[in-house]
Amino acid sequence: MEIWELGAVELAAALRARECSAVEALAAVLERAEAVADLNPFALRLDERALASAIDADAQLAAGEGGPLCGVPLTVKDSHYMAGVPTSHGTRAVPPYVPAETVTAVRRLEAAGAVIFAKTATPEFCYAGTTPGTHNPHDPTRTPGGSSGGAAVAVAAHVGPLALGGDGGGSIRIPAAFCGIVGFKPTFGAVPREPSSQGWKTLVAYGPLARCVADARLMFETLAGEDPYDRHSVDVNLKGTVPFTFAAGADGPISGDGNLKGTVPFRFAACDTLGTLDDEVRAAFRNVCAEVGANDDAPNLPNNAATWAAIATAEARWADAEAFASPELGRYARSFLEAGDAVTAEAYIRAQMYREEIHRAYAQLFERSGLLLTPTVGCEAFDASLAAPPTVPDWGAYLFDANLAGLPACAIPMGRGRDGLPISLQITGPRGADGAVLAAAEHIEELLHVARYV
């Protein structure tokens, strides 16, 4: 197996055993990046910085030192602040911003010895569920999703085993689903994200994209932990040791005893009334539920896309007022900000207050049945050139509640759809039960034999 084919756990072990060097691993990944350059996953390459990090990692490893990611090459999203490194926000509407400080999450990766070799592409200001100009590795005519689209493409194309993404409304889980990899949105605050841009302060969670759950867990355990400089940061349960059951809610009950060995209550609500599901997505989803003995249950909430949109567009309009004034702002980003203009103060406050009802409904669901299973998105990756692509509130209806209530949610592959492209399962759990969600995801991954899916 080539170095660039190794997962993060495998590569970290090989580096620790001195079966390869960090410099060799970086060279292999950069060579792979050139081989798939047409996919355009990067906003900025950091080759020289990465080489210095790799040399330092080799010195630490030679001394028997270094953290859990020592020498492992990975990427971070363009929107994540790194001191002295420009972030373009995917736009020409404002000059690139060069932060003076590095975000805590990235500092933790570097402290663990990770070799950051690129910042990954996003749509303008991370507003969209697609990433224009970046191509899906399974079919370059299809969207990779967004806004962590470049991150997912890099991982799916084996350009580094890990990527740090950000998820304010599905932005880790959408591209993970469309690119056939694992994407984990942690409990809100589990991964500190300050300093960061001003918008979406109560929506965005930073988390890993990987080719298997074990790799995502390795990265998450490196990232997680309270930060005194981030008032939203919290400690979460990385382990989870209580037996769980599954609950399902497509459009009918699915039999099964729901008794599996694992870690914390675990449930599934696949209410297809929230949005459309392709037939193949529904069939694959039902197969998973039958495999794990899921029981029918749901949070009994409507599609909360409008609640999310009221908060997200209003905050974006305030945070990115300078860009809104620029004629260089793209059409989609402009329409997003214009939507924020239409959100009254009363509508914004009502949306924020409604988050309490969402949280309560999910807490009751988790108490009744355990963790929740849903499709991640309702379709395969669609044609990137569509003049009027399907709207996110329709195919992405299962995404928003995890952001509004701050819940951990993990997307994993569950097969292929009508066009032979990946389709995805989502596992959602109570706030703080991140270890349980990952344990359940790894259990289902094993049952479905989808590790190393791409």
pLDDT tens for each residue of 93-149: 999 999 999 999 999 999 999 999 999 999 999 999 999 999 999 999 999 999 999
The pLDDT, as a whole number, for residue 393 is 80
Indicate if the pLDDT at residue 323 is higher than 60. Answer: yes
What's the CATH number for 1-454? 3.90.1300.10
- Residue 421's nearest CA partner among 269, 248, 289, 284 is 284
Indicate if the pLDDT at residue 254 is higher than 80. Answer: no
Write the burial class of residue 71 (CB in 10 Å: 0-12 exposed, 13-18 middle, 19+ buried).
buried
- Please indicate whether residue 286 or residue 171 has the higher confidence score (pLDDT): 171
Looking at 221-225, 410-414, 444-448, which range is the least confident one?
444-448
| Cis preceding-peptide flag for 326 (omega within 30 of 0) | no
Find the mean pLDDT for residues 405-409. 98
Q: In degrees rounded to 5, what are phi and psi of residue 276? A: -80, 145
The pLDDT, as a whole number, for residue 454 is 53
Confidence bin at 273 (pLDDT 50/70/90)? low
Sheet with 42-45, edge to edge strand ranges? 42-45, 115-120, 73-77, 162-167, 205-210, 182-185, 409-416, 422-428, 371-375, 246-248, 295-296
Considering the chain, what is the average pLDDT of its residues? 91
- Please indicate whether residue 247 or residue 260 has the higher confidence score (pLDDT): 247
Indicate if the pLDDT at residue 259 is higher than 80. Answer: no
Indicate if the pLDDT at residue 255 is higher than 50. Answer: no
Active-site residue numbers?
A: 77, 147, 171
Token code pair at residue 264: 């914390």
User: Which helix H or strand E contains 43, and what residues bound it?
Assistant: strand 42-45
Looking at 130-144, 210-224, 247-261, which range is the least confident one?
247-261
Q: What percent of the chain has pLDDT over 70?
A: 91
Confidence bin at 258 (pLDDT 50/70/90)? very low
The pLDDT, as a whole number, for residue 390 is 82
Find the mean pLDDT for residues 348-361. 98
pLDDT tens for each residue of 56-98: 999 999 999 999 999 999 999 999 999 999 999 999 999 999 9
Write the burial class of residue 314 (CB in 10 Å: 0-12 exposed, 13-18 middle, 19+ buried).
buried
Indicate if the pLDDT at residue 194 is higher than 80. Answer: yes
The single residue listed with the structure tokens 């420009």 is 86
User: Which helix H or strand E contains 73, and what residues bound it?
Assistant: strand 73-77
Give strand pairing partners of 426. 411
The pLDDT, as a whole number, for residue 1 is 86
Confidence bin at 271 (pLDDT 50/70/90)? low
| Cis preceding-peptide flag for 195 (omega within 30 of 0) | yes
Q: What is the DSSP string of 324-357?
A: HT-TTS-HHHHHHHHHHHT--HHHHHHHHHHHHH
The pLDDT, as a whole number, for residue 375 is 94
Q: In degrees rounded to 5, what are phi and psi of residue 296? A: -70, 125
Find the mean pLDDT for residues 359-377. 91
Instruction: Report the distance separating Cα 129 and Cα 116, nearest Å.
Output: 25
> How many residues belong to the chain?
454
The pLDDT, as a whole number, for residue 435 is 94
Instruction: Report the distance separating Cα 413 and Cα 12, nearest Å.
Output: 24
Instruction: Report the distance separating Cα 150 and Cα 77, nearest Å.
Output: 8
Confidence bin at 268 (pLDDT 50/70/90)? low
Indicate if the pLDDT at residue 217 is higher than 80. Answer: yes
- Please indicate whether residue 303 or residue 454 has the higher confidence score (pLDDT): 303
Instruction: Report the distance separating Cα 176 and Cα 204, nearest Å.
Output: 16
The pLDDT, as a whole number, for residue 262 is 36
10 Å Cβ neighbour count for 364? 12
Indicate if the pLDDT at residue 23 is higher than 50. Answer: yes
* Total-model pTM: 0.94
Sign of CA dihedral 52, 195, 84, 38: positive
Q: In degrees rounded to 5, what are phi and psi of residue 221? A: -65, -25
Indicate if the pLDDT at residue 264 is higher than 70. Answer: no
The pLDDT, as a whole number, for residue 120 is 98
